[in-house]
Chain A
Amino acid sequence: MSNHISSSAPTIISNKRSFSLATLRELWQYRDLIRVFVYRDLVSIYKQTVLGPFWFVIQPIITTLTFTIIFEKVAKLPTEGIPSMLFYMSGIIFWSYFAECLTKISNTFVQNANLFSKVYFPRLVVPISQIISNFIKFSIQFGLFTILYLFMFPGSERASSYNALNLLLLPVVLFAFALLSFSLGLIVSSITIKYRDVAFLIQFGIQLLMYGSAVIYPITTVPVKYRIFIELNPLTGIFETVRFTLFGTPMPELWVLLYSIGFTLVSTLFAISLFSKVEKNSMDIV
């Protein structure tokens, strides 16, 4: 009995519910559900496929090859002395982590309308489990990247000036991606309850956003007078930091970094308060 989800204080249902410490406690009580959702998201994708989890790495490999051919060989974009395969692959796997979290979380309400209309659990369980399951997917891809990195990076021109301590920033960078996709996803999902338009916007917008985020080119290649537009995208600062962490390229300017951090924190706070506000009656509208 004691291992059932419960609490000693009465549960109060009214329209005044909002985000508080109690929400966090409740999320912790539902950790098994988060685990189960993560398992479902990872396992259900490759059921009835021959290659199974290998699909997680096939995708970035093919995209990396394509990008290398098009952007390096055809468009001849510079990669700041980083082996081009590594440059593109790092961009792609970090980008797809961000992009997939964002798209999946954006669909939280619409995708789970049936579930949400039948049973209660803290709704944040769904986006949190998306962050985690995509993180596991990312880790597999990052493992592949590490193998390539160990082969290709030591011989490259960046290697001599690279300080391995940079790697300590890696968890921070990942956390930033997670938090930013989490908060933007929550905001979009909150809006899509009422307005489905935003879902379409995200669908194609996310593809365009990649080109505006210094994923496949270093910010230094952007002409100075246009640079500000790219820098106003909070993702730019994070992607520049990714390359600093992995390859020792210069850190982004301080204000770009602070801006990215500030943006992420503010949007997270805003997202959680918006989400807690709309989730209460979401099932009357979706």
Chain B
Amino acid sequence: MTKRVLEVNNLSKSYKLGLINTGSLVNDLGEYYRRLTKRGYNPGQIELSAKAKPAEESKKKYHQALNDVSFTLNEGDVLGVIGKNGAGKSTLLKILSRVTTPTSGEVRIYGRLASLLEVGTGFHPELTGRENVFMNGAILGMRKAEITKKFDEIIAFSGVGQYIDTPVKRYSSGMYVRLAFAVASHLEPEILIVDEVLAVGDSAFQKKCLDRMMEVSRSGRTVLFVSHNLSAVKQLCNRGLFLRSGTSIFEGDIDKALSLYYEDGVATDFSNPVRDIRPFARKECLGNLTISTITFNKASFVVGDNWEIEIKLENHKPGKEYKDLLLDFAIHDRYDNKLIHLTNIFLGADRLSFQPSDVYKFSIPSIDLSPDRYNLFMSLRANEEIEDWIGEPVQFDIIESNNYGFSNSSLIRGMSQPKAKFQVIQNA
């Protein structure tokens, strides 16, 4: 018999749009006075507009961030909440975390709930690491005795041991985040709510966070997890809640939720090497000749793989001729550093004319970038003008691996892993 730990019933939240008020007390009082006097002097007019206005105004002035969302969680469920920006994920989390209240509907929580919308909430820069552990723990709802008991464990997990009596303002941002996460991960709630916490820190730290979350969920606790990192969601969760513009589209099996989300055309399905570029946002360009698909030679790569993309173009003005094609792409890392920049001109193919049946292919025989997610940006020029300019990145992954056959890839920190050799030259 599984125990029900969380019940969400017909939850709705609407926000007033625009300015909440005129912004100052004096103006608001003036507005209020005007309304009062208007009513007194010209009641007919007010009545008329009162009939006509609310219906059309209320539509415009309110944004329904969550609309009648219901679901329940049993003990041990790990629910991934997915949906694009503005779907209502954050609003749901805020309500569950009790940071704000719903407009209607209710949530019933059976047991202790802890929410991590951020790590290090309430850290005070002047206080030492030790003092901040106690403060942050108390903010998250831990009792002093509990923190004292777990203190050594927390410090060991954070790895900032020797700096624990230094004010946290002297910490590097990495140390700060590690200490904060260490406190948060030693909470022992029955229900844990996590928002994108994994988006902080370097990839080794993110992996540590993920492992910790796995541990938490395996220990039979209920987790509600919101992230844009869909592979993490897939790994962690057994159930999914797919939200679109505040409405629950699907709630149930995680694979079903994810596949519905992919079909919705918003998220990238990294298991499919063919990427449809047509729905992507565009920057300023003519748009007569556009990129329709980019096909990778593999769904994901390991370091040193042969990396290829095939680009298909689409002509929206039949009969128009395009000369001097320039296909230009760049690979950026997650911090937006431009790592690789290539065009067909660099590779000796200038004076290229467009043929409808042609496919354009770039290949890099050995992609020596370290494991991470990469963003590909692409533009297309023809006749000296920008025909297409993709505004959002096409993403691909290089998965945990290395170029040297070394056993532990995570120890290799460089951005790039060129083929290398080491020799001992013995001078006898």
Q: Which chain A residues have a beta carbon within 8 Å of chain B's beta carbons?
A: 1, 3-6, 10-15, 17, 30, 32-33, 35-37, 39-40, 43-44, 47-48, 114-121, 191, 194-198, 280-281, 283-285
Most-contacted residue by chain B among A15, A48, A118, A284 (CB, 10 A)? A118
Cβ of A33 and Cβ of B121 under 8 Å apart?
A: no
Q: How far is the CB of A277 from chain B (nearest CB, A)?
A: 11
Q: How far is the CB of A286 from chain B (nearest CB, A)?
A: 10
* A-chain residues with CB within 8 Å of residue B104 when the two chains form the complex: 15
Interface assignment of B144: CB less than 8 Å from any CB of chain A: yes
Cβ of A48 and Cβ of B20 under 8 Å apart?
A: no
Q: How far is the CB of A39 from chain B (nearest CB, A)?
A: 8
Cβ of A283 and Cβ of B99 under 8 Å apart?
A: yes
The answer to whether residues A1 and B188 also contact, given A10-B109, A14-B107, A44-B126 and a CB cut-off of 8 A, is yes
- The number of chain B residues with a CB under 8 A from chain A is 50
The answer to whether residues A284 and B146 also contact, given A36-B135, A121-B139, A196-B24 and a CB cut-off of 8 A, is no
Interface assignment of B155: CB less than 8 Å from any CB of chain A: no
* B-chain residues with CB within 8 Å of residue A116 when the two chains form the complex: 99
Cα A60 to Cα B407 in complex, Å, equals 67
B21: nearest chain-A partner, CB-CB? A194
Cα A281 to Cα B20 in complex, Å, equals 12
Cβ of A195 and Cβ of B141 under 8 Å apart?
A: no
Interface assignment of B102: CB less than 8 Å from any CB of chain A: yes
* A-chain residues with CB within 8 Å of residue B127 when the two chains form the complex: 40, 43-44, 47
Cβ of B145 and Cβ of A3 under 8 Å apart?
A: yes
Binding-face segment, B32-40, B111-119, B327-335, B341-349: B111-119
* B-chain residues with CB within 8 Å of residue A17 when the two chains form the complex: 101
Cα A1 to Cα B112 in complex, Å, equals 10
Cα A5 to Cα B134 in complex, Å, equals 15
B95: nearest chain-A partner, CB-CB? A13
A34: nearest chain-B partner, CB-CB? B138
Interface assignment of B52: CB less than 8 Å from any CB of chain A: no
Contact code string B91-106 (vs A, CB < 8 Å = 1, else 0): 0001111111111111
Cα A35 to Cα B131 in complex, Å, equals 12
Cβ of B143 and Cβ of A3 under 8 Å apart?
A: yes
Cα A280 to Cα B99 in complex, Å, equals 8
Cα A183 to Cα B167 in complex, Å, equals 34
* A-chain residues with CB within 8 Å of residue B118 when the two chains form the complex: 118-119
